[in-house]
Amino acid sequence: MNDNSEYYYKKDENYTIVGLCMEVHRILGPGLLEIIYKDALEIEFKNNNIPFEREKEFKIQYKGIQLPHKFYADFIVYDDIILEVKSVKEISNEHLAQTLNYMKLANTPIGIIANFQNKSLVSKRLVI
Protein backbone atom coordinates (compact mmCIF):
# COMPACT_ATOMS: atom_id res chain seq x y z
CA MET A 1 0.00 0.00 0.00
CA ASN A 2 1.16 3.52 -0.60
CA ASP A 3 1.02 6.10 2.18
CA ASN A 4 -2.32 7.48 1.02
CA SER A 5 -4.14 4.14 0.98
CA GLU A 6 -2.64 3.16 4.35
CA TYR A 7 -4.07 6.32 5.87
CA TYR A 8 -7.57 5.56 4.63
CA TYR A 9 -7.47 1.81 5.27
CA LYS A 10 -10.35 0.91 7.57
CA LYS A 11 -10.97 4.61 8.31
CA ASP A 12 -14.71 4.13 8.94
CA GLU A 13 -14.07 1.22 11.28
CA ASN A 14 -11.45 3.28 13.12
CA TYR A 15 -13.92 6.13 13.63
CA THR A 16 -16.57 3.70 14.86
CA ILE A 17 -14.23 2.09 17.40
CA VAL A 18 -12.90 5.41 18.70
CA GLY A 19 -16.44 6.81 18.78
CA LEU A 20 -17.59 3.93 20.98
CA CYS A 21 -14.57 4.44 23.23
CA MET A 22 -15.55 8.10 23.52
CA GLU A 23 -19.11 7.09 24.43
CA VAL A 24 -17.84 4.77 27.17
CA HIS A 25 -15.53 7.50 28.45
CA ARG A 26 -18.34 10.08 28.38
CA ILE A 27 -20.58 7.88 30.52
CA LEU A 28 -18.04 6.34 32.91
CA GLY A 29 -15.54 9.19 33.10
CA PRO A 30 -11.79 8.89 33.68
CA GLY A 31 -9.80 7.00 36.27
CA LEU A 32 -11.43 3.57 36.50
CA LEU A 33 -9.66 0.26 36.05
CA GLU A 34 -9.06 -0.98 32.49
CA ILE A 35 -11.32 -3.99 33.06
CA ILE A 36 -14.33 -1.70 33.64
CA TYR A 37 -13.80 0.06 30.30
CA LYS A 38 -13.35 -3.33 28.58
CA ASP A 39 -16.65 -4.55 30.05
CA ALA A 40 -18.43 -1.41 28.83
CA LEU A 41 -16.82 -1.64 25.37
CA GLU A 42 -17.98 -5.24 25.06
CA ILE A 43 -21.55 -4.04 25.65
CA GLU A 44 -21.14 -1.28 23.05
CA PHE A 45 -19.71 -3.67 20.45
CA LYS A 46 -22.59 -6.11 21.02
CA ASN A 47 -25.24 -3.35 20.94
CA ASN A 48 -23.82 -1.98 17.68
CA ASN A 49 -23.39 -5.39 16.00
CA ILE A 50 -19.65 -4.93 15.65
CA PRO A 51 -17.69 -8.17 15.31
CA PHE A 52 -15.08 -8.54 18.05
CA GLU A 53 -13.15 -11.02 20.15
CA ARG A 54 -12.15 -10.10 23.68
CA GLU A 55 -8.85 -11.23 25.23
CA LYS A 56 -7.93 -12.95 21.97
CA GLU A 57 -5.12 -15.44 22.58
CA PHE A 58 -2.13 -15.54 20.24
CA LYS A 59 0.58 -18.19 20.31
CA ILE A 60 4.17 -17.22 19.60
CA GLN A 61 6.56 -19.33 17.55
CA TYR A 62 10.33 -19.19 17.85
CA LYS A 63 12.36 -21.12 15.28
CA GLY A 64 9.39 -23.37 14.65
CA ILE A 65 8.76 -24.06 18.34
CA GLN A 66 5.66 -22.80 20.07
CA LEU A 67 6.64 -20.87 23.17
CA PRO A 68 4.80 -21.70 26.41
CA HIS A 69 3.71 -18.11 26.99
CA LYS A 70 1.08 -16.42 24.88
CA PHE A 71 -0.15 -12.90 24.50
CA TYR A 72 -3.70 -11.67 24.74
CA ALA A 73 -4.94 -8.69 22.77
CA ASP A 74 -7.62 -6.76 24.64
CA PHE A 75 -9.88 -6.81 21.57
CA ILE A 76 -9.72 -7.81 17.95
CA VAL A 77 -12.39 -5.74 16.22
CA TYR A 78 -13.64 -6.24 12.64
CA ASP A 79 -11.37 -9.31 12.44
CA ASP A 80 -8.15 -7.33 11.92
CA ILE A 81 -7.92 -4.28 14.19
CA ILE A 82 -6.24 -4.61 17.58
CA LEU A 83 -7.72 -2.41 20.29
CA GLU A 84 -5.62 -2.00 23.41
CA VAL A 85 -7.39 -0.40 26.37
CA LYS A 86 -5.32 1.63 28.83
CA SER A 87 -6.03 3.66 31.95
CA VAL A 88 -2.67 5.37 32.45
CA LYS A 89 -1.42 8.93 32.85
CA GLU A 90 -0.17 8.97 29.25
CA ILE A 91 0.46 6.58 26.38
CA SER A 92 4.15 5.72 26.51
CA ASN A 93 6.63 4.37 23.97
CA GLU A 94 6.28 1.03 25.76
CA HIS A 95 2.55 0.96 25.00
CA LEU A 96 3.26 1.82 21.36
CA ALA A 97 5.91 -0.91 21.13
CA GLN A 98 3.62 -3.47 22.79
CA THR A 99 0.79 -2.73 20.38
CA LEU A 100 3.10 -2.79 17.35
CA ASN A 101 4.44 -6.18 18.48
CA TYR A 102 0.91 -7.50 18.91
CA MET A 103 0.02 -6.25 15.44
CA LYS A 104 3.02 -8.03 13.91
CA LEU A 105 2.42 -11.28 15.79
CA ALA A 106 -1.31 -11.24 14.97
CA ASN A 107 -0.66 -10.13 11.38
CA THR A 108 -3.08 -7.22 11.69
CA PRO A 109 -2.49 -3.92 9.86
CA ILE A 110 -4.08 -1.55 12.37
CA GLY A 111 -3.83 -1.04 16.10
CA ILE A 112 -5.64 1.45 18.28
CA ILE A 113 -4.60 2.39 21.80
CA ALA A 114 -7.41 4.01 23.79
CA ASN A 115 -6.45 5.67 27.06
CA PHE A 116 -9.34 6.37 29.44
CA GLN A 117 -7.35 7.90 32.31
CA ASN A 118 -7.56 11.59 31.36
CA LYS A 119 -10.38 14.15 31.27
CA SER A 120 -10.78 13.42 27.54
CA LEU A 121 -10.22 10.09 25.81
CA VAL A 122 -6.83 9.88 24.13
CA SER A 123 -6.40 7.46 21.25
CA LYS A 124 -3.54 6.56 18.95
CA ARG A 125 -3.90 4.74 15.63
CA LEU A 126 -1.00 2.62 14.43
CA VAL A 127 -0.69 1.29 10.88
CA ILE A 128 1.89 -1.19 9.58
Q: What is the mean pLDDT of residues 59-68?
A: 93
Average of pLDDT values for 104-127? 95
Answer yes or no: is pLDDT of 2 > 60. Answer: no
* pLDDT beyond 80 at 1: no
Lowest mean pLDDT among 2-16, 20-34, 36-50: 2-16
Using an 8 Å Cβ cutoff, are 40 and 24 in contact?
yes
Which pLDDT belongs to residue 10? 83
**With bands split at pLDDT 50, 70 and 90, how would you rate the model's confidence at 4?**
very low
What is the predicted pLDDT for the residue at 3? 47
If phi > 0 it is left, if psi is from -120 to 50 it is alpha, else beta; for residue 79 that is left
Q: What is the mean pLDDT of residues 12-36?
A: 97
pLDDT of 5? 53
Whole-number mean pLDDT of the chain? 92
The better pLDDT of the pair 54, 10 is held by 54
Direct distance between the N- and C-terminal alpha carbons of the chain, in angstroms, rounded to an integer: 10
